[in-house]
Structure 1
Amino acid sequence: MKFAARLASLARSRRRHQSARPSRERFPSPGHSSESGDMTHHPHFARASLPRRLLRLAGIGALAWSAAALAGTGNGDLSDSNISYVGRWDKSNGATFRSYWNGSYLSTKFTGTTVKVKLAAPTRFKAIIDGVASDYWDASGTINLTPTALANGTHTLKIVAKYEYTELPFQGLVLDAGAATVKPDALPLVEFIGDSITSGVVTSDMVFTDYAWLTGERLGADHTQISYPGISLVDPTWEKPNVPTGMESLYFKLQQATHCSDVACTGNPAWDFANYAAKLVVVNLGSNDVSKSVPGATFQSRYTTFLQNIRAKYPNADIFALRTFNGFYQAETQAAVNARASAGDAKVHYIDTSGWIDAGDLPDSLHPNDAGHVKITYRLLPILLPYLGVVTRNDTSFSYDNTANWLSGAQNGAYLNDNHWSSVTNASYQLPFAGTQVKLYGGQAPAHGIAAVSVDGGAETFVDAYSATRKDDVLLWTSPVLSAGTHTLKVRNTGARNANATGNFVVGDRVDVIDGGLNLLSNAGFENGLGGWNTGANGGTVSTATTRPNSGASHLVHSGTAPYWAYSAQTLTGLSSGQYTVKAWVRGTAGHQLYVKNFGGSPVSVTSVASDGYTQLTISNINVTSGSAEIGFWTSVGSGTGWLHVDDVTFYKQ
């Protein structure tokens, strides 16, 4: 394990053992400054606070660490508060937590190089580590999710129930010795309610290729799918195999329809809505009510009541009722929304989906295929995004210039009670974000210095974080209103300090992103290898590397040692007509092209200049009229060893 990662692990462990100490002023955490602001921001803090043996061993990269230090939070067991359970989970059994409904998942981050999951019974699931997904079929016991060890560092993990009938009987994670879980970002939650369409029936990968999952992921939100194939809104008065009840009753239950033997769902417990609060709720129901000949007046009445009952569970959520994609009960759905609005509910909305997909997207005349779900996603994203409001990113999301420059650990009063800090001149961190404004929060203290803050490589603003008394989670800087789209925030330690300051520490704690433009490209930072990108080469290679990313851990590479050509491209469909912008950060030899074509107009491109550092290429005012666009990078080298590195590509509607 790298020294900085070991320091972070030590800080987390010491924080747990110091929780009984009576005063942080007398006993500052090893992770950050005391409330007095004097001790841990002293330049010699690390040597004064860390065990001498750790400092001796750091020079040779060795460390003996006791597994006993990983008790409680951070150890991966069911009591670990760093594991987030998204969806409907039954935690009543202390030995096994069980998920219900497709698309439920657990989420965390972890340090080290390997991770295993313990499951009480065979099940089918998908594990997503650092954005790379793997399927597991009828797996049980202790399952190694990393047969090939990862690079040492902090990784992301999701374990997801893939089908409507699969459940996750989770019993914990197994980590490397000395490793620990890390709390994932706190994200807003979007809940999708529907039938087989929302469950992804007929798509290539079920839940992972349906519009609900795609939309939730692109919004940067947590998301749930309370959906089941064949289900209607209205409770039937007859039984249909596997679907004996309607969503107007089943939605309020813990378990999916496979646990219902009758309309009353006897034995299926009520769901406790106190477990989480959705910020947005998207309802797509009615396609199966048609097949059951539910009268329009009945459907409208029950839909109105259903919306009212959802409101009772989520008093503050915005609720969206979609017109079914085939137009079933369109008038009745809109009338139900109008009835709720007339009753004073200003946060219920009707979404007209007319024209979002066509017959070619419906292989069986009812269920959208993969392309259809992508089209739905791109139509839904800009509608939902403004209602998410502020999205908060904490310090574990930042990309640090060098982990050795930035220590991390506990700090009472900071966001999530921890942060990163550095006293190294020119040490920096970055955060790509999609929005129209960003707000930087952090600590002020006697030993804090002056940071330089910039957006998209622009002019720096100097922020003095000195304060005579300790303050945390303070608003330090707010950007001007930015153009819609994806930007990059950079915070740099200038090494300078206020005349009254006793140190020059700069802190990374949290950033609030205000809603705005949304990046429509997938895997835009190449953190998932070349996933989502079409590539080709003749005489050269297209790959990804971790040597010098602009942000994150990876970037795209075009390279060759003789004449060659290469391309990497992504085609988007389902785009609404209008003006778009594409941006990309690149470095390399001169003459490479960022291009956009097949959007309804003549191809457009911009050519790179020779640069060892990253520069941003931009093409604006791309008038999309065809509903699609291809965004790509083209390299053609006639001689020599021309090369191109690409990172943080964005494509968004202006």
Structure 2
Amino acid sequence: MMWLSRLAYGLGLLSTVTGTILQNGQVRETNYPDTRIDLAAGSYTTFANNACAISYLGRWDSKKVSWWAAPGIRFGFTGQTVAVTFGEHTIDGTLVGYRLSGLDWQFTNVTAGGTHLFISPETEGIDLTAPVSPNTFEMRVTNWGYGIQIDSVHVGEGDKIVKVAPQPRFVEFIGDSLSSGMYNSYEALSGFAYGVGQGLGNTEYSITAYPGICVADQDCWGNTRGQSHQWFYTTDNSWRSKELYGDEPEAWDFEKQQKADLVVINLGTNDANAANNVSSATYIEHYKRLIQGIHGVWPDAQVIVMQMWQGFYQDGNSYNQNTDFRNEVYSVYEYFNSEEYLNNPVIWDGITEEATETNEKAKPFVHFFNTTGILQHNDIAPQWHPTDVGQIKVASHLIQFITQKLGWHLYATGPEVFADTLYWNDQSGY
């Protein structure tokens, strides 16, 4: 969120709570269904929020409150009914996406203390044969600044929920507003990070990203700590975190998620902003710390560092892309591929903030993704963030980079990735 004022920052939060999607300055018609029900009016089998069949996707704290971007839940179920009761720490009006198995995303605004019916016998497709039995239910929080708390899950009387096996690959995304989809139609569910994670197929993913945050461990646009520190914690350092945990947030237990095969980092947009006064040397130092910490947590994970896009400026009768901190990002890539580091790797502990040299020689694991030429000036919206199309372009190119660099195959073969991006014309006479 390079040029975002604090006022615009607040407006970004407000627009999500009311469920409003702005498209070129105009309100897009959404017609989200009102899914709230009276639980006492029906007959259900209820499961507590700690039921082993519920998979928590992304970062959730010990109170089962969601954090960062696109956190969600997934489970299989028998029968034709799924409802969820939300706890008191749910932000009223939070927009969630949900879907039945491989069908398209649906959206609704949820309420603190309320029970919402997501799947019923009237749900389109519930009576169709599932490619994999039983049916699955998945729900994701769209916004990066608001969260939900899972209180309990309900299915039809006599039915049950079933654990869904995790996907064989896991990708961790670490970033700021660009990765969290700020200003896009469905925010986190319209961002490139989600697009890559979902678009690869057979891949679990987590998006530890929050607008305004720097990699440097300092205050940036209200984020009191940077990702070289905060990534090691369950929560971001937003007002929600301060309200629940003060200055003592929960450390993230990396055993709660499968080991990452790949970590993708897009950080520096806020560090490069003169308003945050981050020097080139400080940026490089803290970027190194973050990668050293990743290598300590997941020694076998590959890491991709992305060149940032800083928007475009008019240059005569054409446009050029800003490249602030490009050289610094590339120097980080060079450092981790140098004999100096590979012969004497360093592990950074983001909790104790201590560095330890190891005695084992490291293998090259850091790659540089050059984004030059992927976006053009009209792929950047007025608030200095990619349009929905821009996010899709970045995701598409990054997916191809991953498949070529790591030899990964693509397995996504049908389920919707980006909602409401069907830009076509079906009229022949116009």
Say if 2:313 is the partner of 1:322.
no
Alignment of 1:492-641 (within 5 A): 515-516=408-409, 523=416, 532=422, 534=424, 536=426
Please name the residue that 2:197 is paired with. 216
Question: What residue number does 1:116 align with?
Answer: 83
Q: Which position in structure 1 is the counterpart of 2:69?
A: 102
Q: Classify 1:317/1:387 alpha carbon distance in 2 versus 1 (closer, same or farther; 3 Å).
A: farther
1:341/1:208 CA distance change after superposition, 3 Å: same
Task: Give the distance between the partners of 2:232 and 2:188, measured in 1 at CA.
Answer: 21
> Which runs of at least 4 in structure 1 moved beyond 6 Å after TM superposition?
518-522, 528-531
Rate the CA distance shift 1:136–1:530 in 2: closer, same or farther, 3 A. closer
Distance in 2 between residues matched to 1:198 and 1:227, nearest whole Å: 6
1-structure distance, mates of 2:265, 2:54: 28
Match of 2:328 in 1: 332
**SS class of match (2:119):** coil
Could you say which residue in structure 2 is the equivalent of 1:198?
179
Pick from 110, 117, 132 the counterpart of residue 144 of structure 1. 117
* Equivalent residue letter for 2:163: K
In structure 2, relative to structure 1, the CA distance for the partners of 1:267 and 1:337 (3 Å cut) is same
Residue 106 of structure 1 and its aligned partner are, at CA, apart by: 0.7
Distance 2:139 2:190 in 1: 16
Tell me the residue number matched to 1:244.
224
Deviation at 1:536, TM superposition (A): 3.4
Instruction: Tell whether the 8 Å contact from 1:359 to 1:365 is kept in structure 2 after alignment.
Output: no
Could you say what secondary structure the match of 1:145 adopts?
strand
Tell me the CA shift for residue 232 of structure 1: 1.0
Are the equivalent residues in 1 in contact too, given 2:192–2:392 (CA < 8 A)?
yes
Q: Does structure 1 conserve the Cα–Cα contact (< 8 Å) formed by 2:80 and 2:120?
A: no
Q: CA deviation at 1:80?
A: 2.9
What is the correspondence of 1:285-304 to structure 2 with a 5 Å cutoff?
A: 285-291=267-273, 292-304=276-288
Gap regions ≥5 residues in structure 1? 1-66, 390-514, 539-564, 566-654
- Mark the CA change 1:273 to 1:240 in structure 2 (over 3 Å): closer, same or farther: same
Equivalent residue in structure 1 for 2:379, among 354, 357, 361: 361
Q: Which moved more, 1:167-176 or 1:154-163?
A: 154-163
Residues 1:158 and 2:138 are matched in the alignment: yes
Any idea what SS the aligned residue of 2:52 has? coil
Deviation at 1:378, TM superposition (A): 0.8
* Partner residue, 1:134: 106
Pair 1:316–1:307, CA change in 2 (3 A): same
The DSSP-based 3-state class of the residue aligned with 2:337 is helix
Q: TM-score, normalised by structure 1?
A: 0.47
Partner residue of 2:236?
256
- TM alignment of 1:337-416, pairs within 5 A: 337-342=333-338, 343-344=341-342, 345=362, 346-364=364-382, 366-385=384-403
Provide the rounded CA distance (Å) in 1 between the counterparts of 2:110 and 2:384.
Answer: 30
Q: Is the 1:164–1:256 contact (alpha carbons within 8 Å) kept by the matching residues of 2?
A: no
Hey, what does 1:426 align to over in structure 2?
none
Corresponding residue for residue 179 of structure 1: 159
Contact 2:61–2:235 at 8 Å: present in 1 too? no
Letter aligned with residue 117 of structure 2: N
Three-state SS of the structure 1 residue aligned to 2:288 is: helix
Runs of 5+ unmatched residues, structure 2: 1-42, 311-322, 343-361
1:168 to 148, 152, 172: 148
Identical columns (%): 23
Report the structure number with the largest CA radius of gyration.
Answer: 1
Q: Is the 8 A contact 1:244 1:260 kept in 2?
A: no
- Mark the CA change 1:245 to 1:517 in structure 2 (over 3 Å): closer, same or farther: closer
Contact 2:173 2:207 in 1 (8 A): yes
How far did 1:530 drift?
A: 10
Question: Cα distance 1:133–1:157, how it changes in 2: closer, same or farther (>3 A)?
Answer: same
| Inter-partner Cα distance in structure 1 for 2:163 and 2:77 | 8
Is 2:62 aligned against 1:81?
no
Q: Residue 323 and residue 517 in structure 1: after superposition, are their counterparts in 2 closer, same or farther (change >3 A)?
A: same
Q: Is 1:233–2:215 an aligned residue pair?
A: yes
CA distance in 2, matches of 1:529, 1:253: 30
Which of 299, 304, 307 aligns to 2:291? It is 307
**How many aligned residue pairs are there?**
333
Which structure's residues are more often helix, by fraction?
2
- Normalised TM-score (structure 2): 0.70
Query: Deviation of residue 377 (structure 1)?
Result: 0.8
Tell me: CA distance 1:279–1:352, structure 2 relative to 1, closer, same or farther (3 Å).
Answer: same
Aligned amino acid, residue 376 of structure 1: V
Provide, for residues 390-438 of structure 1, a one-character-per-residue CA deviation record: whole Å limited to 9, x for no partner. Answer: xxxxxxxxxxxxxxxxxxxxxxxxxxxxxxxxxxxxxxxxxxxxxxxxx
CA distance in 1, matches of 2:242, 2:87: 25
Q: Closer, same or farther in 2 for the Cα pair 1:516/1:260, shift >3 Å?
A: closer
Give the residue type in structure 1 aligned to 2:397. R
Letter in 2 for 1:334: Y
**Contact 1:193 1:282 survives alignment (8 Å):** yes
Distance 1:271 1:338 in 2: 29
User: In the aligned structure 2, how far is the partner of 1:295 from the partner of 1:143?
Assistant: 48
Following superposition, the deviation at residue 168 of structure 1 comes to 2.1
- DSSP 3-state at the match of 2:272: helix
- Counterpart-to-counterpart distance in 2, 1:210 and 1:191: 14
Higher strand share: 1
Q: Is the 8 A contact 1:378 1:520 kept in 2?
A: no
